[in-house]
Structures are given as structure tokens and as C-alpha cells.
Amino acid sequence: MSQPALLRSTYALLGEDLLQAIETHGQYMDVPAGTTLVREGQFVKVVPLVLHGTVKVFTKTEDKELLLYYIRPSESCVMSFAAGMGDEPSKIMAVAEEATTLWLLPVAQLRQWVTEFPRINLLFFTQYNQRYAELIDTINALLFNRLDSRVYQYLKEKTRMKGELVLDLRHRQIAQDLGTAREVVTRVMKRLEQEGKIKQADGKILLL
């Protein structure tokens, strides 16, 4: 599918006039897995819409990270939007987890569109709400759940996203996403396995 067509089909709900504006002023970008899109403290000049792929959003302090959420197609990065509109530095990091196709909207145009095409607010409000809810969930998990359930929740979410029950995933990666240490994850995974919730074999993880 051509890029404009992908844009149109993915974001049809925005309406034709807005889509046209987005198409003329926006810019297409294709990035390989691992590309850093937003760094902490960085000022944002463009807001990305995700057309294809997955972008991972997380906080980082020194060498400790915490996964906040993923941005999937038809979604947008509200943190960029927030940082862009408010002219404030970003508080989070965003990295392409897979090869990802983006459509970049310049902040300057966005500021106009917010009043010119009120429909675009719908997109951002929806996104804000969703992210908000995810952050609250994260906070609750951090505060109320022990690592066991956090890891398990994380694994369930991963399988939901990938659409398959077998995950090819390193303990190290899980640890990083949850802001803990590799050995601790190993320990927890062992316990989950004993409880019959997962199964591990040659580096893959199977959810039961």
C-alpha cells in the first residue's frame, strides 16, 4: 500500500479535509528497529503518528528503565504532542521496537489544526485518556503488586500484543522493562513456572 493510502486508511476517522492538510504538511518516515525517536529532556518539533510497527515508550533514570506503554498503528505519541504543544522538554524516551513507519506532523501546523480542525482533538483526547489509564495502571502495579504479578501481567500483555502464546524474550529484557534486575526475573520466572502459569524451554516462554 502506498504511504498516503496507509495514512488515509489508518486515520480515516479524522475526516477528508484534515487528512489532506496532514498529507501536504506532514512527512513520511521509515525507521529500523531500535531507532530512538524521542530522548528524555529533548524538545519536540514533530509529533509522530504510527502507521505501522510499534514504538516503545519508557522512563529512564541513570541505568534503570520502566516501560510505560506501546504505541501501535492508528495511535499517536501524546507525550510528543504534550511536549510539542507546551514547548516543554520530553519526560520520556521513545524507541522503535520493530521497523516502524511514521507520519510526522510539525508542531507549528498542529497548533493551527487544533482550532481549525477540531476533529483532530478527538484523536489526541482519546490517546491522552488511554495513556492516562495506562499510567495509572502502572502506578497501581508498582504500588500494590509484587514482582510476581507484575511479570505475569507483562507477559500476558506481550502475548496479547503479539497474538501468540510463545514469546521469544530474554530475562534481561523483562528485567529492563520492569525496572529490576535479571537475576530477580529469573527467580520470579522459576516461581511462575512452578505455579504452572508459564513454561520455559530453549529460551522461549510459553504462557499457559
Partner DNA sequence: ACCATCTGGTGACCAGCGTCACCGGCTTAC
Partner DNA sequence: GTAAGCCGGTGACGCTGGTCACCAGATGGT
* Cα gap 14→179, rounded to integer Å: 37
CA distances from 138 to 16, 33, 57, 65, 167 (A): 36, 25, 13, 13, 22
Taking the mean position of all CA atoms in its chain, how far away is CA 77? 8
Query: Which listed option, its own copies, DNA, none, makes contact with residue 181 (CB within 5 to 8 Å by class)?
Result: DNA
Half-sphere exposure of 12 (CA within 13 A, CB side): 4
Cβ of 69: how many Cβ atoms within 10 Å? 21
Find the binding residues for its own copies in span 83-142 (CB under 8 A).
Answer: 85-86, 88, 91-92, 114-116, 118-119, 121-122, 124-126, 128-129, 131-133, 135-140, 142
Q: Considering only residues 56, 131, 158, 171, which one is a binding residue for DNA as defined by CB under 7 A?
A: 171
Which residue is associated with the grid cell 504452572?
A: 196
Is 109 a binding residue for DNA by CB under 7 A? The answer is no
Is 66 a binding residue for DNA by CB under 7 A? The answer is no
Q: Which is nearer to DNA, 115 or 194 (CB)?
A: 194
Is 172 a binding residue for DNA by CB under 7 A? The answer is yes
Is 187 a binding residue for DNA by CB under 7 A? The answer is yes
Binding residues for DNA (CB under 7 A): 146-148, 169-172, 179-184, 186-190, 200, 203
